[in-house]
Amino acid sequence: MTKRILVVEDNDLNRKLFCDVLRASGFEVEPVADGHAAIERTRDFMPDLVIMDIQLQDVSGLDLIAEIKRDPALRDIPVLAVTAYAGKGDEERIRDAGAEGYLAKPVSIGPFMTTVKTLLDDRTNVSARQAIA
């Protein structure tokens, strides 16, 4: 079954790059430019992974991650934060909000795809363990 990835990114070039690379790797991708629409699109699309820009124009990606993690229907979806915030303490703050993955911009495609696949594999393994239990 094709894995589904929601990409929340307000920069048109970054959003297109992420979506093109993910589609070329066989993923079903849903792009979202408006942070305010991100939670509703997450509920509608039910992705296997959310890629979240932290510095959105209209809302904080940290707030969106926290909202996803508070929602019982969404909380198990892993979130990969992709952000220009790369200062001391930023990764810890982003992970504390609930992100399972963190990459600083500018993002190289190799590490990006490795992180995406790792988060998806981790989710698959957790789901398999839950089904057995």
Would you say residue 18 has pLDDT above 90? yes
Task: Spell out the residues 6+ positions from residue 22 whose beta carbon is closer than 8 angstroms to its own.
Answer: 5, 7, 29, 116
**The token pair that represents 120 in the structure block:** 């998806």
In this prediction, residue 116 carries a pLDDT of 97
In this prediction, residue 1 carries a pLDDT of 80
Q: Which pTM value belongs to this model? A: 0.91
Determine the Cα angle at 54 with ends 123 and 25, to 5°.
45
pLDDT, one tens digit per residue, over 94-132 is: 999 999 999 999 999 999 999 999 999 987 665 544 444
What's the CATH superfamily of 4-132?
Answer: Response regulator (3.40.50.2300)
Helices (H), the chain: 12-24, 38-45, 61-70, 90-96, 109-132
Task: Spell out the residues 6+ positions from residue 107 whose beta carbon is closer than 8 angstroms to its own.
Answer: 82
pLDDT, one tens digit per residue, over 63-102 is: 999 999 999 999 999 999 999 877 778 899 999 999 999 9
Of 106 and 20, the one with more pLDDT: 20
Average pLDDT of the residues in 51-61? 93
In this prediction, residue 58 carries a pLDDT of 85
